[in-house]
Amino acid sequence: MGKELDEKVQIAFENARKKFLFSDVDFHKAIEFPEITIISCNGKIGSLIGRNGIIVAELSKELNSKIRVVEHSQNPKKVIADLIGNVRLLGVNEVFEPSGTKIKIIINTHDSKKLSATPEHLEKAIEELTQNKAKLEFK
């Protein structure tokens, strides 16, 4: 579904660009889960969200899914912070294992219900966006 989803999101993205006239953000990749669609973008992601979230609301309506916008970045901490949103991030640690680097993300237990997707789906999204294995832990 990856290429098909990217094409669908790209069309919605371009429709929003024409309607709201933003130019400082570009679509990179989309990841879809049952509860949310994650859109990774290059540039100023605030432009895509829009004043009071109006642009992302339009995208959400067109794609018939909740949307989370994240900045495409080489910095895993930035990607994770964008992805988890208003959840308290207690730590992000790189763990070096023989099989490769793994990212351990520690989140406040009281915020677990605020997550936009299941921990398993968020781990998959982090892995896809950062190219590193990921594990969410709650403390």
Q: What are the tens digits of pLDDT across the range 45-69?
A: 998 888 899 999 999 999 999 999 9
Which overall architecture, per CATH, does domain 2-71 show? 2-Layer Sandwich (3.30)
Task: Supply the pTM of this predicted model.
Answer: 0.91
Portions of the chain given CATH number 3.30.300.20:
2-71, 76-138
Q: What is the CATH number of domain 76-138?
A: 3.30.300.20
Residue with tokens 């997707």: 117
Q: What are the tens digits of pLDDT across the range 79-97?
A: 999 999 889 999 999 999 8
